[in-house]
Amino acid sequence: MAHEFAPYDGALGPEGVRRTTMYYGPVVGGLPIEAWHCEVCGLLRLTYPDGRKEERRLFPGPQPGLIAGATTRMPEVQTFGMQARVSGLSLDPRLVGTLIPAEATGPMITLPQITLPQLDALTWMTAILLSLACVGGLYAGVLAVYTYATPSAEWPAVIVTLVLFGSALVLQAGAAALRHFFPMPPLAPSPAERYGGKAQLDPATRTAVFFLVLATIGLFIGGVLAVYDWHTPDAEFPLFMGVLVCVGLALLVKVADAARRHLGGR
């Protein structure tokens, strides 16, 4: 017997199961398929994005792998069938209008996040001691200038500041002495140190570098000749042409080497 397609408004259906807006796992055209499923009889009603409607029969009971509620969360953190986007394609505008009011319950307040640097305990203790010493120095400076007479609290503030600063120095000196007298065992040499050596350039690259160095020297000399006097000397033009020849020879050498390696199958 055929079933009438009723709107998915949350009312009770003829089978006594509450209708809820759900979406079917398989996708047509990159858009989710609106679905309603009866968990008692297994009836599945589908409404495709292009307007077509279809009925199928599934096993009774929940179908979490095929039918799920829509969500605006990212698909990489959702189980199969829960993603609202499929293969990165855009959503149906009707689906967006349905999801956003349900998900956005209020204004989103983003609190600033503080990322502490990855420091060891010794560095943290030194930083805390120096920070307290700075605060003590500021307090002592305010006490020294805010009135015409030095208050009695100035001396204890200076002593505490000096003790904090000295503690930071002693802590760093002790750590340096500990590292000096009880060093860590030497690490094994790295592969770069064990097998490394000077770079071995092929003849074509060496030739190209030679011509480029000549071109650089020629450009430097040409720049000096162009500005050291009030008029351009006669040697400027042949020098510039020599620079162009050197650059062209360098390019020609590299192109010929690339063609040789390509034709030789290397």
Q: Provide the residue ranges of all domains of the chain, joining segments of one domain with +.
A: 22-103, 121-181, 201-263
Instruction: Extract the tokens encoding 160.
Output: 């505490």
Whether the pLDDT of residue 225 is over 70: the answer is: yes
Whether the pLDDT of residue 265 is over 90: the answer is: no
Backbone angles phi, psi at 163, to 5 degrees: -65, -40
The rounded distance, in Å, linking the Cα atoms of 143 and 39 is: 78
Instruction: Extract the tokens encoding 22.
Output: 């759900």
Whether the pLDDT of residue 215 is over 80: the answer is: yes
Q: When comparing pLDDT for 103 and 68, which is higher?
A: 68
Neighbour count for residue 20 (Cβ, 10 Å): 13
Confidence of residue 9 (pLDDT cuts 50, 70, 90): very low
Strand order in the sheet with 22-28: 53-57, 43-47, 31-37, 22-28, 67-68
Residue 15 one-letter amino acid: E
Mean pLDDT of 91-102: 55
Mean pLDDT of 107-117: 76
Q: Check residue 12 and give its pLDDT.
A: 36
Q: Check residue 132 and give its pLDDT.
A: 94
Q: What is the DSSP letter of 84?
A: S
pTM of the predicted model, to two decimals? Answer: 0.34
Confidence of residue 30 (pLDDT cuts 50, 70, 90): low
The rounded distance, in Å, linking the Cα atoms of 79 and 63 is: 13
User: Strand ranges (DSSP E) for 13-142?
Assistant: 22-28, 31-37, 43-47, 53-57, 67-68
